[in-house]
Amino acid sequence: MENASAPKPHVVILGGGFGGLEAAKKLSCEPVRVTVVDRTNYHLFQPLLYQVATAALSPADIASPLRGILSECKNMEVIMSEVVAVDVDLRKIRMADGVLGYDYLIVATGARHSYFGHPEWEKLAPGLKSLEDAVEIRRRILMAYEYAERISDQAARRAAMTFVVIGGGPTGVEMAGAIAEIARYTLAKDFRHIDPSETRVILIEGSPHVLAAFPTDLQESARKQLVDLGVETRTGIHVTNITEDGVQVGDEFIPCRVKIWAAGNTASFVGKSLGAPVDKVGRVLVNNDLTIPNHPEVQVIGDLANFPHQTGQPLPGVSPVAMQQGRHAARNILAMIDGRKPQRFWYLDKGSMATIGRNKAVADLRLVHFSGLPAWMAWLFVHIIFLVGFRNRLAVLFQWGWNYLTFNKGARLITRNFQAEQRPPT
Amino acid sequence: MENASAPKPHVVILGGGFGGLEAAKKLSCEPVRVTVVDRTNYHLFQPLLYQVATAALSPADIASPLRGILSECKNMEVIMSEVVAVDVDLRKIRMADGVLGYDYLIVATGARHSYFGHPEWEKLAPGLKSLEDAVEIRRRILMAYEYAERISDQAARRAAMTFVVIGGGPTGVEMAGAIAEIARYTLAKDFRHIDPSETRVILIEGSPHVLAAFPTDLQESARKQLVDLGVETRTGIHVTNITEDGVQVGDEFIPCRVKIWAAGNTASFVGKSLGAPVDKVGRVLVNNDLTIPNHPEVQVIGDLANFPHQTGQPLPGVSPVAMQQGRHAARNILAMIDGRKPQRFWYLDKGSMATIGRNKAVADLRLVHFSGLPAWMAWLFVHIIFLVGFRNRLAVLFQWGWNYLTFNKGARLITRNFQAEQRPPT
């Protein structure tokens, strides 16, 4: 890994998500040597993952090979490996298959699902963080209909056609809306013994409103748009148990075959190995310049960072925060190499959006709030613009145009996956 | 599964490949009740499977949900299940999860790989029949480069960058050409410690020439086009052993990490359960009207059928044979329902083609032989035309146009699969 001809400072970036990738791009062709480490070989556009899970897009539409994105400048190297821990005193990173030194480090390994002390729920109610998760959820949704088509027992059929989404944030709302749309439009004519429009989609949220981070008027608008699609929303109530047969919510047991987890996150375990203080969900408490105490050469960004210096609250785990922090961290490193100090980070909040279904969305642009068609158009526009890779943009535009015009989803393939299913196929 | 209001004859079609799907389409909206049974929920356009394995296309581009294709007519039902055996005397099909009766049966369950008595080779050298196979081979090819990039041992690196394709029929030739092209163009700038253009691709064929079923001039042309791409072709020589470390060919042991099997086929085991005579590779010896002896209500078509009545030789296991037989079998059933006899099948051979790479192909249209660019254009045209589904045609055209213009392949994603790898990732 050592390059004798280059005494340039070595920057290591852990994670090729939104934050890590922006930092890497900012350091491209600069007088540093950069190594990006990621467990996959691609950058994943996570905001559209639910569309892979609901058969609207294919994995390759929303993932772009990291080597391809970063091939232009020779100062950039990509390693596909799993990070185990960081030793900030020795400035060494331990990976599953080797050790890597650094002069400057950006840690952007993000977050995973948290099952609130119930790790046994993970297999029963998979979450949506990776391509593998999305393909597995797609398989479960489609297999539920295959199963329902072939059984005569009414209760079992009803349970197979009941989908419970746990967590009413943007991901949960998007999943619930997308499943309701598949049932109503895409699968309408596919079966002979069931009517897919009898599908029940139940969205469960522990706080009093869905989209808790949005303004009140948009929460109410989102609720109405979900009702329009036939999604049953239950708020202010918690899931207390999950079994193969269903979900316990308060006093009620909802029999259902497919459950999807969109509730909690926990930060990557890499954060804890840095030796800096972490919060309850494992996020690293960073200084106001994104560095960690006593180690200005180490910065933490994105979902792994708890940055409370601007509003008193941690900044939300969304891609604009990660991207702005990624660029800032890169600038900080170039400044330190020049003998200057790292600068304070300020987040510029341009607003947030969530989509619910065809022509249905909410958009909070701070000064104005949209919902319905205008919000949906804004959502489409922003997501196409930020999708990495011109090919992906064209491919997704084509798919969306096709899906919109035909109500049809071409990617509804049931393929086997690395996770064995909990029960046999039928 | 029984429908009391429909005393129409019940036709069951086993297999939703080229033959089964054509038969089903022909029986759509006819006065019969049709049930198509397939182990997957999609029709797979197998001739383009090698493009998924080499990251040019995505699974959804070449697979189309069977329910979607066959949703138009209410007389058509699809069951996703695995067929275990057929009892032709009781007219019952045993599936993994149920029993199905029939009045008329079309068996189109195709073929699997044959490892010539070495089933232990299957995990070492996967073949290319299913989407899962293709995604697994794609993963192995891309992981080989990730591995090569990170080891310093020259011999191990060389073995990781050596790809052996066993079998010089159309699939083997297409795979070998596509890997050589990825190495030369797509990955050219992706790595820092290896030069992908140093990749070796070795194509091994037991008979004296690649593309044994093609005319001699096209065999020679294919060999030259492979040489142009840097593929080493070894003919008239057999693989005698496969290990994790390489392939034994005659006296030579070729160290290599990735081996791909494109050599032999064996017919689906469903054929044997019919009680009719089968040939050495398990194909059912059908009458000249596609029925089996003593059971005019049972027809066998496609790769599972041995039909020697036209040329003295079994018809080849290619999609045009399967499609023509599928349509013929459907016509036979409608004739029998009308009290007429099944008719003799005649195969109309329009020629065959194989592609080797960019602007490289051979086409045997019987009266004329093409190679190079004209053959490649003809190959593209025919494959776009026959691809099922308008969406797929547009999506593949877009991908091919993009790949052609940019030399880039967007689907080069390493995703985990149901088959565990033989050795750890690095």
Which residues 6+ apart lie within 8 Å of B303 measured at CB? B17, B19, B110, B111, B265, B267, B268, B283, B317, B322
Chain A residues with CB under 8 Å of B24 CB are: none
Cβ <8 Å between A191 and B418: no
The rounded distance, in Å, linking the Cα atoms of A108 and A95 is: 15
End-to-end Cα, chain A, rounded Å: 50
Q: What strands lie across the sheet with B369-371, from one edge to the other?
A: B352-357, B360-364, B369-371
Least CA distance to A144: which residue of chain B?
B80
Cβ <8 Å between B132 and A416: yes
Q: Quick one: pLDDT band at residue B366, thresholds 50, 70, 90?
A: confident
Higher pLDDT pick, A398 / B115: B115
B410 in reach of chain A (CB within 8 A): yes
Q: Are strands A63-65 and A42-44 parallel, antiparallel or unpaired?
A: antiparallel
Q: Are strands B231-235 and B239-243 parallel, antiparallel or unpaired?
A: unpaired
Cβ <8 Å between B389 and A412: no
**Minimal C-alpha gap between B7 and chain A (Å):** 17
Residue whose structure tokens are 């309850």: A280
Taking the CA atoms of A159, A160, A161 and A167 in sequence, report the sign of the dihedral they define: positive
Q: What's the token pair of residue A20?
A: 């890590």
CB A424 within 8 A of CB B95: no
User: DSSP secondary structure string, A314-332?
Assistant: PPPSSHHHHHHHHHHHHHH
The rounded distance, in Å, linking the Cα atoms of A186 and A56 is: 10
**Minimal C-alpha gap between B33 and chain A (Å):** 12
Residue whose structure tokens are 């609250």: A313
The rounded distance, in Å, linking the Cα atoms of B116 and B239 is: 11
Mean pLDDT for the stretch of residues A345-373: 93
Least CA distance to B146: which residue of chain A?
A80
Which percentage of chain B shows pLDDT scores above 70?
96
Q: Inform me whether the pLDDT recorded for B403 exceeds 90.
A: no
Cβ <8 Å between A80 and B414: yes
- A230-282 pLDDT tens trace: 999 999 999 999 999 999 999 999 999 999 999 988 999 999 999 999 999 99
B75 in reach of chain A (CB within 8 A): no
Which percentage of chain B shows pLDDT scores above 90?
81
Cβ <8 Å between B391 and A412: no
Give catalytic residue positions of A. Answer: 174
Chain A residues with CB under 8 Å of B68 CB are: 190, 408, 412
Cβ <8 Å between B60 and A411: yes
Which percentage of chain A shows pLDDT scores above 70?
96
Q: Quick one: pLDDT band at residue A5, thresholds 50, 70, 90?
A: low
**For A75-89, B81-95, B182-196, which range has the lowest pLDDT when averaged over its residues?**
B182-196
What is chain A's mean pLDDT, rounded?
92
Position B387 scores a pLDDT of: 85
- B121, B111, B83, B102: which is closest to B278 by C-alpha? B111
In 3-state terms, what secondary structure has residue B36?
A: strand
E strand or H helix at A355? strand A352-357
Position A6 scores a pLDDT of: 52
The interface pTM score, or ipTM, of the predicted complex is 0.88
Q: Quick one: pLDDT band at residue A425, thresholds 50, 70, 90?
A: very low
Listed in order, strand segments (DSSP E) in B215-257 are 231-235, 239-243, 246-249, 252-255
Give the nearest partner residue to A418 out of B74, B398, B417, using CB atoms.
Answer: B417
**Minimal C-alpha gap between A343 and chain B (Å):** 32
Q: Inform me whether the pLDDT recorded for A137 exceeds 90.
A: yes
Give catalytic residue positions of B. Answer: 174
Least CA distance to B152: which residue of chain A?
A1
Q: Quick one: pLDDT band at residue B416, thresholds 50, 70, 90?
A: low
Least CA distance to B396: which residue of chain A?
A395
The rounded distance, in Å, linking the Cα atoms of B413 and A66 is: 10
A positions 104-143 inside 8 Å of B (CB)? 131-132, 135, 142
Residue whose structure tokens are 């200084």: A287
B64 in reach of chain A (CB within 8 A): yes
**Minimal C-alpha gap between B391 and chain A (Å):** 7
- A395-410 pLDDT tens trace: 888 888 888 887 777 6
Cβ <8 Å between A412 and B68: yes
Q: Quick one: pLDDT band at residue B409, thresholds 50, 70, 90?
A: confident
- B148-186 pLDDT tens trace: 999 999 999 999 999 999 999 999 999 999 999 999 888
Cβ <8 Å between A410 and B426: no
- B215-261 pLDDT tens trace: 999 999 999 999 999 999 999 999 999 999 999 999 999 999 999 99
A97 in reach of chain B (CB within 8 A): yes
Cβ <8 Å between A150 and B416: no
The rounded distance, in Å, linking the Cα atoms of B290 and B331 is: 11
Q: What's the token pair of residue A158?
A: 């009803």
- A193-228 pLDDT tens trace: 999 999 999 999 999 999 999 999 999 999 999 999
Taking the CA atoms of A140, A143, A149 and A153 in sequence, report the sign of the dihedral they define: negative
The rounded distance, in Å, linking the Cα atoms of B36 and B15 is: 7
**The one-letter amino acid at A340:** R
